[in-house]
Structure 1
Amino acid sequence: MTGHARRLLLIEDDAAFARTLARSFERRGYAVDTVPGQEELQALLATGCTHTHAVVDLKLAGGSSGLACVKMLHEHAPDMVIVVLTGYASIATAVEAIKLGARHYLAKPSNTDDIEAAFERAGGDTDVALGQRQSSIKTLEWEHIHEALAAADFNISEAARQLGMHRRTLARKLEKRRVK
């Protein structure tokens, strides 16, 4: 894969989505490597390979967090342009992703155009429209739950303990909001 100026690392546990996204980026001139999770990412980084861009799914198989992958990537290559892509968007995880080194955070569904545009945007946008509505109680609850999940590294039992609720209750709430 030498000779490519743009090397993309895709961290996505949904194999069909990963293949589709990889093909789309390859048609745009990227050399693409795909790994399904954190362990495979560690093994790939240990080989010394370098990438210019990365797309990281927030929620990976086995309940592991893409935030750990963002941190690992940023420590490995601080200049890498990292975009987090998720069906489980929340303010808490967006803030943490940016703090850990991601350039942007996109909610699914997002396509290759959206992701490539996020790669290009280096700064914030002061003209972004401010929401006219206050957050609903359900939205605030979801963000609080997601904040606890992120703090517990997506361990449902630990998050339930932090929230003071039964693990099965939390699991049911998460199933209702499933976006993926």
Structure 2
Amino acid sequence: MNNLLIIEDDNALAAVLASRLNRHGFHCIVSNNASDSLLKARQHTPSHILLDMKLADENGLSLITPLRQHLPKALIVLLTGYASIATAVEAIRLGADNYLAKPVDTQTLLNALKVTPSAQPETLLSEQPIPPKLLEWEHIQQVLNANNGNVSATARLLGMHRRTLQRKLLKKPIADHR
């Protein structure tokens, strides 16, 4: 049985994920904050880690490096409700093995957790084209990230009014894009 550390600040979602994955052969350990996560990682030595990008006031990206240092062979999957190309690239650069946007179905989650490092690049490629609305969302997120979250500077670079950009930022990207 594989040990899976679920690092998620939403207790209800963590319980649902643990319940789903227990049925598929994972022994789940749940943590809801950064310091507790590192402690549980040392205690339980999980083979797999599901890491939420936003943990209350903390950023899950900051946990990837210490988790990777302590558990170099663990498979780390970053989950986020705020998917963008910029954060995906950053997560992989820091050492995550995969990156999934919420909400995620059980089969996609299982596929991500069973990826071997040598097979990973193939799983990241999609044969279906990305819809234009999602491309726009990802481009906006990338420019916003490059401007350290400054909406006015991002709007100027994108050639749009600040209020228009704010409205676009309030909309979630298409959930079922691939």
Give the TM-score band, short-chain normalised. Answer: 0.7 to 0.9
1:129 is aligned to 127
Q: Give ranges in structure 2 of 5+ residues lacking alignment.
A: 156-162
2:159 is aligned to none
Name the CA shift for 1:133/1:48 in 2 (closer, same or farther; >3 Å): closer
Which amino acid in structure 1 is aligned with residue 122 of structure 2? D
**How do 1:1-180 residues align onto structure 2 when only pairs under 5 Å count?**
5-45=1-41, 47-62=42-57, 64-122=58-116, 123=119, 124-125=121-122, 128-129=126-127, 131=129, 139-145=138-144, 147-148=145-146, 159-160=149-150, 163=153, 175-177=170-172
RMSD: 3.2
- For the residue of structure 1 that corresponds to 2:25, the secondary structure is coil
Aligned 8 A contact 1:9 1:53 in 2: yes
Deviations 1:31-59 (A, max 9, x none): 111111212213324x5320000111111
d(CA) in 2 for partners of 1:106 and 1:84? Answer: 6
Number of equivalenced pairs: 162
Which amino acid in structure 2 is aligned with residue 142 of structure 1? Q
d(CA) in 1 for partners of 2:96 and 2:112? Answer: 10
Name the CA shift for 1:29/1:121 in 2 (closer, same or farther; >3 Å): closer
Name the CA shift for 1:41/1:48 in 2 (closer, same or farther; >3 Å): same
2:160 is aligned to none
Aligned 8 A contact 1:87 1:179 in 2: no
Name the CA shift for 1:36/1:148 in 2 (closer, same or farther; >3 Å): farther
Aligned 8 A contact 1:82 1:104 in 2: yes
- For the residue of structure 2 that corresponds to 1:94, the secondary structure is helix
